[in-house]
Amino acid sequence: MRIGEFQALPASNELRGPAGVVRLRPLLMDVLLRLAADAGEVVARETLIEDVWPRRMVNDEVLSRAIAELRTALGDDPRQPRYVETIPKSGYRLVATVHGATGAPEIRAPARGRLPWLAAAGVALALLSAAGVAVVSRTDPGEAIADRLANAQPFTADLQFELNPRFSPEGGRVAFVLGEGAKSRVIVQPADGGTRRTVGDEEALQLSPVFFPDGRRIAYWRQRDGDCAIVEHDLDSGAERPLLDCTLRPRSRFDLSPDGKRLVVTAAANPAGLVLVDVATGTTTPLTRTASGDGDDLSPRFSPDGRQVAFFRGNESHRSLWVARTDEPASARRATGLEGLTYGAAWLGPEGPLVVAADWLGFRALTLLDLRSGEVRLLGARGARFPDVSPAGDVVYEDAAFQANLWLVDAEAAGQAPRKLWPSTRYTNMPAYSPDGRQAAFVSNREGFEGIYIAPLDGEPVRLPLPREFRYIRPHWAHDGRELYAVRIPAAAARPSPQHAVRITVADGRVEVLGQLGASVSSVVPSADGRWLYAGELAGEAARLVRAPVANPAALERLALPPVAEFQLNATHLVFTRPGIAGATRCRLEDLACKPLAIALDDTNRYDWVLGADAIYFPEGERGRRQLARFDLEQGRIAWRRDFRPPPRAWPSHRARTESTC
């Protein structure tokens, strides 16, 4: 075929042109051939991934990197393409004329592979094998993993959830959880295929298997008949014994030290800290303690020498990674200033670095965290959760697809079915009505990177053209609907970074930084009359409330109110919650006269409520069985509770699908 001035010779992976030969690696030639097979037509991103990588689990970043590399080889400019054009929200199109070259084979699309992938709201396991590849480099251990991510092979693809993968000590087997709802089973499967075996009681809920150092036993978390325990299971005999009962109400994600002598678990206090458990005696020793408002300490992992524990601390979508020495309970330190949604970590050496699954860079993926510098960089594997690394450098992780949609619910019409708004296979949250009630602003990563979208309730969402080097969260409409106020955070900052309030023009996405409100803003909310801005100044896990005139943000006034966890406004009142304290407080805006509200809001549902004109709406009950509750502000009590959607499939520490309400 001939592309513009170039003639491609597919058999030799070369492009010949007037300037000479441009050599392409086979993968790039495959991408080029697939585009040429439908030259002039849009080839969807999903089609390219399925056709060029038919037997591999590949994410959007891999395709984007391949297109970028192909453009570099062709000398193409994505802004004025002569060869490969990007079609937003769709895919790519080869715009150059294609002619069959003499003697060249017919251009055909690569054969499409068929894999039994789960649809949205599914979880499968992927394996990065180091077979034929040198052990992970000691100088840059993350580079070897990043280079191999494009070659990740599906390890399992069952129709049920596949969770919590862990390698055996020699790296030849993987233990994971297979199941759904209130029942699951632990599976042990050879890493190179072969016969799997089932472990434990299939009538129980079993999670988080981890091997003992001898490889002949595993420990896992079990819940049965309303009781829970961490148990030891002998793989040869099937014998079991409890290592820790439910007295401490241990969370399901725990770890076993490399020598098999200690457990580290999250004890379910409020907030929850970490506890070390002696396997032989059951003796417990506190490892971490969290202050009011700090949030829980979750998903602990021992370092390879057992001297340190990495874990996540925070609330909901505001978690960062911490490290504590096991011999110094007061040594816990924050390892990075980045925070967000987190999904597990694995050590690459006694002093790190760590492979961390988080959305710290604007989307959920594997990142590399250097403990000495606090720097974080992207490895890849979009959608990855809860990674584990074998001694040889193999990596296994959950590959999860989620739906996190907004639902439109008529709060006053009992029995009316809710309506799903703008569904996608990624997350959509932080909704805010426009003043006229006809539009909503929300945050989503539906197009790859987290951004703010505007959508009419019966129309399609449009992403505001905001610079991608920043994340924009917590949008709130101005009183006239022409502007949004939000918080802007650098997307890839490796240290604690500034959080500025910004004003965004809805029509063109123009951003004005409100630096007068400081560099540690948690949220900024305009008053309904358009005169005032109310903001939170971060102070640890709490915030101090301030306000300033919209016309003169520099005239800042600190409010004589206690530190808050979250706050919201309506036309006449401000309502806030406090870290570590159940309930809420309602204050008149005109004089800040306040009174307490006996409502079930605390750190566990810090962001899960919305203030209306005369009521607070919030989800009540356990995850997966929640109801929408209406708390009447004047009567000071729950006015009604309603089921407003079918419950999702859920796990004690995992939701396959999350939903938000607009």
Tokens coding 631: 């708390």
Return the minimum-mean-pLDDT range out of 77-86, 298-307, 532-541: 77-86
The model's pLDDT over 206-236, given as tens digits with 9 standing for 90+, comes to: 999 999 999 999 999 998 887 889 999 999 9
The pLDDT score that the predictor gives to residue 650 is 34
Tokens coding 198: 């089932």
Nearest to 564, CA basis, from 590, 593, 534: 534
3-state secondary structure 383-395: CEEEEEECCCCCE
* Winning range, highest mean pLDDT, from 32-46, 295-309, 396-410: 295-309
Nearest to 655, CA basis, from 627, 630, 626: 626
**Cα separation, 407 vs 356, whole angstroms:** 31
> 256: which strand partners?
263
3-state secondary structure 374-426: CCEEEEECCCEEEEEECCCCCEEEEEEECCEEEEECCCCCCCCCCEEECCCCC
Helix, strand, coil % over all residues of the chain, rounded to 5: 10, 45, 45
What dotted CATH number matches 2-99? 1.10.10.10
DSSP string, 610-657: EE-SSEEEEEESSTTS-EEEEEETTTTEEEEEE--SPPPPEETTEES-
Do residues 20 and 27 touch, judged by C-beta distance below 8 A?
no
Tokens coding 624: 């997966």
Residue % of the chain over a pLDDT of 90: 47
For the cut 50, the answer to whether the pLDDT of residue 659 exceeds it is no
Average pLDDT over the chain, rounded to an integer: 82
The pLDDT score that the predictor gives to residue 191 is 86
Q: What single letter denotes the amino acid at residue 502?
A: V
Tokens coding 85: 């054009």
Sequence spans of domains, the chain: 2-99, 158-244, 427-559
Residue 616, judged by CB atoms within 10 A of its CB (0-12, 13-18, 19+), counts as buried
Do residues 328 and 294 touch, judged by C-beta distance below 8 A?
no
**pTM higher than the cut 0.85:** no
**Token match 């101090």: residue?**
544
Q: Is the peptide bond before 353 cis (omega within 30 degrees of 0)?
A: yes
CB crowding 32-65: b at 16 or more within 10 Å, else e: bbbbbbebeeebebebbbbbbbeebbbbbbbbee
For the cut 80, the answer to whether the pLDDT of residue 657 exceeds it is no
Sign of the CA dihedral 25, 31, 36, 39?
negative
Task: Give the pairing of strands 658-661 and 404-408.
Answer: parallel
The model's pLDDT over 466-516, given as tens digits with 9 standing for 90+, comes to: 988 888 999 999 999 999 999 999 876 544 578 999 999 999 999 999 999
**Token match 């009590």: residue?**
637
Position 110 confidence tier, pLDDT thresholds 50, 70, 90: very low
For the cut 70, the answer to whether the pLDDT of residue 647 exceeds it is no
Tokens coding 440: 């909503």
**Cα separation, 211 vs 95, whole angstroms:** 54
Position 9 confidence tier, pLDDT thresholds 50, 70, 90: very low
Return the minimum-mean-pLDDT range out of 10-19, 64-73, 203-212, 604-613: 10-19
Position 141 confidence tier, pLDDT thresholds 50, 70, 90: low
For the cut 70, the answer to whether the pLDDT of residue 143 exceeds it is no
**Cα separation, 407 vs 413, whole angstroms:** 15
The pLDDT score that the predictor gives to residue 654 is 30
The pLDDT score that the predictor gives to residue 125 is 66
For the cut 70, the answer to whether the pLDDT of residue 336 exceeds it is yes
Average of per-residue pLDDT across 436-451: 88
Tokens coding 83: 């060869």
For the cut 60, the answer to whether the pLDDT of residue 134 exceeds it is no
Of 219 and 394, the one with more pLDDT: 219
Residue 367, Ramachandran bin (φ over 0: left; ψ between -120 and 50: alpha; else beta): beta
Helix (H, G, I), strand (E, B) or coil at 62: helix
Q: Chain centroid to CA 94: how far?
A: 33
Residues 6+ apart with CB under 8 A from 63: 45, 48, 49
**Cα separation, 592 vs 576, whole angstroms:** 12
For the cut 90, the answer to whether the pLDDT of residue 169 exceeds it is yes
- CATH class name, domain 427-559: mainly beta
The pLDDT score that the predictor gives to residue 625 is 63
